[in-house]
């Protein structure tokens, strides 16, 4: 077996002035599941920045189970997201599903998100190994801890150690929650890889009321940050509204934690 | 559908002077997986009491996967556990596997534990509905939240609402940990039943190093207590040594939390 | 480790003139989920016997998730089942949930069924080791193959090797079917234990239309028999009607297979 | 919701003179996990063709959990596979992991395989909707039946209904087998989509001895074909040797079935 690149030694990620890792306070990523319009993302960005978040999220390429569901605003949405990030003076993160769009996403986004469905997409992981920007690698929905570790190793082995891991729940027999948030994976992956590990309680539970308690639990067991879906009007969201907080709810959670 | 007895209204459990529930601080249950000798359980009881725990645990009837593994000291062990609890002036909890032993366990123990393997044992749950002492009901290893709720409802419907729920991890595809600790079940079951919910990070992870972070996470999301396996000499334990803390490790964790 | 009693050498079970095991043709067990009335079980028995089944099933002690659901006719139902079996001149099988009822169930039934929820009930398994009548041991709904093997070993180690194993589906993330029928367990458990292994496609799928194809698959991979829920009027059944065949449907399947 | 393209009406796939679907006998696909050399694949092709198989499989782009494991011979291997198929006068199938290689794979292969890890790769599925050649779509390792159905719908909605589905086992708690082969998915997916559904018992069990019984079970419940890993020397295979049959073992199975 070759020597692993991710040895467990602490790796700190820098995005402009922001630092993410064991020697730094937890970071807060928030924003809507999907960028839906210029106005929606701009309003969200400005209000979330005022609350104190560090990074703005917003999906523009959306991996949806059905081909007939909303697939995202794509490049147009990416530009709206960038404008909103600039207006709020805050870095942005968005999901990349496809190597064909890697250059344009790299041009606009500060962090490249790899979603749960692409954790096993090894050609894409190899491509991400050739860039320098940070990659947020979500755990596959039924990926074992070892497979997730090896997926990060793919990126690192090809040259890029700027990786943030994100636990987002695993698929189990339980149907009350959308996924089963596996918080034990947080201390395990921190120790095994040395990378920062953040938690997404929105996908991890799929239930608005569980986001606050699971956010606190995540930080208590050592998570280096939280990624939470926030929408100015969850009832009208084009995707994942039932698991999104509105901005007031998010502010309350943010203030309780900080 | 009949009216449920457990409506979600807060239920507080009293054991002597101790109160368990939403309006009270979390309780700490600790002790060895198995009572192995008079000396082992007495030493453990006195040292854990000195640290500050509220309830002493110790298994005397052991549900083991193989018929050829140590099955517990049974009645003899129960008497040792009682003597240790008396010496340390602390309530005791032990597992009941069988209605035949209900009277003798009730005579000695302050709380009756129903283990994961018996959560679906409805005749036993009905029998527990006829007693007054508190029952600690562990979640079945692959029980859905609804099934666990209904198992508690069996006990309550037959007359006993003195129930403490215990999340102890569920069975998933992940093999790094012994079980996947489903902490989202804590706020869910508190809301659905009104009962106190505690967490067992020892079985929930099966890995000594994960007990501290997952204990903190459990309390952060609202757990009403923790049940942790502690053995004076885990390397020599007759069962579950790999997931037991020694007494110094437990003291460190206890002090960090309190 | 002690020497296992179940070594893999073929064990043949005899019930009156009937033989179950590797050197004999597959056996057919059928009948309603629950005995509901004297007339219902008698009609079912006579019509199924005319079709050619070998053993009549009928539940009288019913393990139900909710305490408010129909719990079975208990002793009264047991007598109806016995009368129906006698009238049709066919052995009967029913589930035992509780050692307290072991003597009466032994008095009436030819085979004692241990349901999925009691596969881990070790005191009950030990008690079944002391009898001579055959035990049908269903796999626990999330029992590993090794745990199921060890549960059979409990009965055998305490003295009774008259065990029939029954695969009835396991709990997975898939919700289309009630359970995931794990047919690979059939050849595995035959080889590991030497015991006959039958399959229950009714619980294994929970969908009427899947019973025929999965019955054929079960026999194709070596199952020693099939246990299928049949009700004269599934739409009016007190339990599990959606997964029961009516008698004509069962006859069609029986004739296709034989 | 848009009207589904796959309505359940039978779709028959044609590859040269070969037909796959409900009105045709089952097809047999066999070959090594990986193309390892020109000689290995040529020998395998000629011997398997002599036995009677219909399609030759061989992996050249290999999705491996670790970046340090053998990743396949890539284009070179694809040419060897094509030469072997031509020599044996038999169509070939190989896995495509990446849209970048779609043109070259289309040039050489008769069927494009999409592996378990790419079932959620929607950009790739959309691209496959624009071609005419048949696509073999494996079920994701933890994909629900509905998600698998929708993945096929992606390809069909973008214009290509030449799809063969392949059940290859799902990820569950059971560790005795590599995956849990979900044969109930065969009749379900045939009915839901109308597409042919084949079974891969090699990945579905991960155990050589289980391939024969599970192949028979698959055909008994209606599978339209079987895909089995066969290697002239499994002990020396570069990947998946433990679940590969040697050529004599495959001949024995083939003859038993036919």
pLDDT at site D240:
84
Task: Confirm if A19 and A59 have CB atoms less than 8 A apart.
Answer: no
Is C89 an 8 Å CB contact of chain D? no
Residues of B in contact with C150 (CB under 8 A): 65-67
Question: Quick one: closest CA in A to B149, which residue?
Answer: A176
Residue D6, C-beta contacts closer than 8 angstroms, at least 6 positions apart: D149, D152, D153, D156, D161, D163, D192, D193, D194, D195
pLDDT per residue as tens digits for the range D3-48: 899 999 999 999 999 999 999 999 999 999 999 999 999 999 999 9
Over pLDDT 90: what percentage of chain C? 96
pLDDT band, very low/low/confident/very high, at A141 (cuts 50, 70, 90): very high
A117 contacts D121? CB cut-off 8 A: yes
Interface test with D, best of C147, C190, C221, C253 (most D CBs within 10 A): C221
| D174/chain B closest Cα distance in angstroms | 7
Residue B118 CA to residue B131 CA, distance in Å, equals 17
pLDDT at site B150:
98
Q: Residue A74 to residues A35, A71, B193, D157: CA-CA distances in angstroms?
A: 9, 8, 45, 20
pLDDT per residue as tens digits for the range C76-120: 999 999 999 999 999 999 999 999 999 999 999 999 999 999 999
Residues of C in contact with B141 (CB under 8 A): 142
Is A257 an 8 Å CB contact of chain B? no
| Rg, chain D, Cα only | 17
- Residue B156's nearest CA partner among B132, B129, B134 is B129
Task: Confirm if D12 and D27 have CB atoms less than 8 A apart.
Answer: no
Is A64 an 8 Å CB contact of chain D? yes
Residue C197 CA to residue C163 CA, distance in Å, equals 9
pLDDT at site B237:
87
pLDDT band, very low/low/confident/very high, at A3 (cuts 50, 70, 90): confident
pLDDT band, very low/low/confident/very high, at B189 (cuts 50, 70, 90): very high
Residue D57 three-state SS: strand
| Residue A51 covered by a domain | yes
Residues of A in contact with D146 (CB under 8 A): 65
Residue C3, C-beta contacts closer than 8 angstroms, at least 6 positions apart: none
Residues of D in contact with A121 (CB under 8 A): 97, 117-118, 121
C100 contacts B65? CB cut-off 8 A: no
Q: What is the total residue count of chain D?
A: 258
Is B220 an 8 Å CB contact of chain A? yes
Q: Which two tokens stand for residue B36?
A: 């192995």
- Residue A91's nearest CA partner among A57, A55, A59, A60 is A55
Chains that touch D (3 or more CB pairs under 8 A): A, B, C
C99 contacts B98? CB cut-off 8 A: yes
What number of C-beta contacts closer than 8 Å exist between C and D? 103
The answer, yes or no, to whether residue A80 has pLDDT greater than 70, is yes
Is C64 an 8 Å CB contact of chain A? no
Q: Is A148 exposed, middle or buried (0-12, 13-18, 19+ CB in 10 A)?
A: buried
Question: Quick one: closest CA in A to B215, which residue?
Answer: A221
Residue D241 CA to residue D157 CA, distance in Å, equals 37
Is A213 an 8 Å CB contact of chain B? yes
| Residue D2 covered by a domain | no
Chains that touch A (3 or more CB pairs under 8 A): B, C, D
Task: Confirm if A151 and A126 have CB atoms less than 8 A apart.
Answer: no
Q: Which two tokens stand for residue B83?
A: 């003597």
pLDDT at site D215:
98
Residue A136 CA to residue A152 CA, distance in Å, equals 10
Could you tell me the residue range of the domain that residue D151 belongs to?
13-257
Residue C113 three-state SS: strand
- Which DSSP string do the residues of B34-63 spell out, in sequence order? B---HHHHHHHHHHHHHHT-SEEE-BSS--
pLDDT per residue as tens digits for the range C201-227: 999 999 999 999 999 999 999 999 999
pLDDT per residue as tens digits for the range A110-127: 999 999 999 999 999 999
Q: How far is CA B28 from the centre of its chain?
A: 10
Cα angle A122, D151, A239 (rounded to 5 degrees) comes to 90
Q: How many domains does chain C have?
A: 1
pLDDT per residue as tens digits for the range A164-205: 999 999 999 999 999 999 999 999 999 999 999 999 999 999
Q: Is B64 exposed, middle or buried (0-12, 13-18, 19+ CB in 10 A)?
A: middle
The answer, yes or no, to whether residue C1 has pLDDT greater than 60, is no
Is B66 an 8 Å CB contact of chain C? yes
Interface test with A, best of D103, D122, D129 (most A CBs within 10 A): D122
Q: What 3 state SS string does D6-32 have?
A: CCCCCCCEEECCEEECCCCCCEEEEEC
- Residue D231's nearest CA partner among D210, D257, D250 is D250
Residue A142 CA to residue A224 CA, distance in Å, equals 22
- Residue D154's nearest CA partner among C105, A69, B94 is A69
- Which DSSP string do the residues of A104-123 spell out, in sequence order? HHHHH-SEEEE-GGGTT-HH
What sign does the CA torsion over A47, A48, A52, A58 have?
A: negative
HSE of D84, CA atoms in CB hemisphere, 13 A = 32
HSE of D224, CA atoms in CB hemisphere, 13 A = 27
Q: Residue A73 to residues A63, A70, A80, A233, B184: CA-CA distances in angstroms?
A: 12, 9, 9, 18, 33
Residues of D in contact with B173 (CB under 8 A): 142, 171-173
| Rg, chain C, Cα only | 17
End-to-end CA distance of chain B: 44
| Residue C8 covered by a domain | no
Count of CB atoms situated within 10 Å of the CB of C41: 29
**What is chain B's mean pLDDT, rounded?**
97
- Which DSSP string do the residues of B103-153 spell out, in sequence order? HHHHHH-SEEEE-GGGTT-HHHHHHHTT--S-EEEEPPTT--HHHHHHHHH
pLDDT per residue as tens digits for the range D86-138: 999 999 999 999 999 999 999 999 999 999 999 999 999 999 999 999 999 99
Q: How far is CA C154 from the centre of its chain?
A: 19
C173 contacts A142? CB cut-off 8 A: yes
The answer, yes or no, to whether residue A255 has pLDDT greater than 80, is yes
Residue C185 CA to residue C144 CA, distance in Å, equals 10
Task: Confirm if B189 and B195 have CB atoms less than 8 A apart.
Answer: yes
| Residue B3 covered by a domain | no
Residue B69 CA to residue B63 CA, distance in Å, equals 9
The conformational region for residue D169 under phi > 0 = left, psi -120 to 50 = alpha, else beta, is left
Residue D1 CA to residue A24 CA, distance in Å, equals 47
Over pLDDT 70: what percentage of chain C? 99
DSSP conformational letter for C226? E
B123 contacts C153? CB cut-off 8 A: no
Residues of B in contact with A217 (CB under 8 A): 183, 217-218, 220-221
Nearest by CB: B171 against C1, C99, C142:
C142
Residues of D in contact with C200 (CB under 8 A): none
Residue A236, C-beta contacts closer than 8 angstroms, at least 6 positions apart: none
Q: Which two tokens stand for residue A64?
A: 């949806």
Bridge partners, B137 (sequence order): B114, B165
pLDDT at site C239:
84
The answer, yes or no, to whether residue C2 has pLDDT greater than 80, is no
Residue C141 CA to residue C116 CA, distance in Å, equals 6
More confident residue, C241 or B69: B69
pLDDT per residue as tens digits for the range C112-166: 999 999 999 999 999 999 999 999 999 999 999 999 999 999 999 999 999 999 9
Residues of D in contact with C219 (CB under 8 A): 220
| Residue A18 covered by a domain | yes
- Residue A99's nearest CA partner among A119, A128, A75, A77 is A128
**What is chain A's mean pLDDT, rounded?**
97
**In chain A, beta strands by DSSP E:** 13-15, 18-20, 27-31, 55-57, 92-95, 111-114, 135-138, 163-167, 197-199, 225-229
Bridge partners, B94 (sequence order): B112
Q: Is B246 exposed, middle or buried (0-12, 13-18, 19+ CB in 10 A)?
A: middle
Q: How far is CA D86 from the centre of its chain?
A: 19
- CATH number, domain of C123, equals 3.20.20.70
Q: Residue D237 to residues D32, D93, D209, D227, D249: CA-CA distances in angstroms?
A: 8, 19, 17, 18, 16
- Which DSSP string do the residues of B180-228 spell out, in sequence order? B--TTHHHHHHHHH---EEE-HHHHH--GGGHHHHHHHHHHTT-SEEEE
D65 contacts A147? CB cut-off 8 A: yes
* Look-up of token digits 């690979």: C184
Residue A198 CA to residue A212 CA, distance in Å, equals 15
Cα angle C102, C104, C110 (rounded to 5 degrees) comes to 85
Report the C-alpha dihedral over residues A214, A231, A138, D99, rounded to 10 degrees: 160
Q: Residue D58 to residues B246, D48, D81: CA-CA distances in angstroms?
A: 53, 13, 7
Nearest by CB: A142 against D100, D142, D157:
D142
pTM score, two decimals?
A: 0.97
pLDDT per residue as tens digits for the range B228-248: 999 999 999 888 888 999 999
Interface test with A, best of C143, C169, C173 (most A CBs within 10 A): C173
């Amino acid at each position: 077996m070759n020597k692993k690149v991710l040895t467990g030694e602490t790796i700190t990620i820098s995005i402009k002035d922001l630092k993410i890792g064991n020697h730094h306070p937890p970071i807060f990523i928030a924003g809507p599941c999907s960028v839906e319009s210029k106005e929606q993302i701009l309003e969200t960005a400005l209000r979330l920045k005022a609350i104190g978040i560090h990074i703005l999220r917003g999906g523009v390429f959306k991996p949806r189970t059905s081909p007939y569901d909303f697939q995202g605003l794509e490049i147009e949405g990416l530009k709206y997201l960038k404008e909103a990030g600039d207006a709020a003076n805050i870095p942005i993160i968005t999901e990349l599903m496809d190597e064909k769009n890697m250059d344009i996403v790299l041009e606009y986004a500060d962090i490249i998100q790899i979603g749960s469905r692409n954790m096993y997409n090894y050609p894409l992981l190899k491509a991400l190994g050739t860039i320098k920007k940070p990659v947020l690698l979500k755990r596959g929905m039924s990926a074992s801890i070892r497979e997730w570790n090896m997926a990060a190793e793919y990126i690192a082995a090809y040259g890029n150690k700027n990786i943030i891991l994100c636990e987002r729940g695993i698929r189990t027999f339980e149907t009350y929650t959308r996924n089963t948030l596996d918080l034990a994976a947080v201390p395990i992956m921190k120790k095994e890889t040395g990378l920062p590990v953040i938690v997404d309680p929105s996908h991890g539970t799929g239930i608005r009321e569980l986001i606050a308690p699971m956010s606190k639990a995540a930080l208590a067991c050592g998570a280096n940050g939280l990624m939470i879906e926030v929408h100015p009007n969850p009832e009208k969201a084009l995707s994942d509204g039932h698991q999104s907080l509105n901005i007031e709810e998010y502010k309350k959670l943010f203030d309780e934690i900080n």
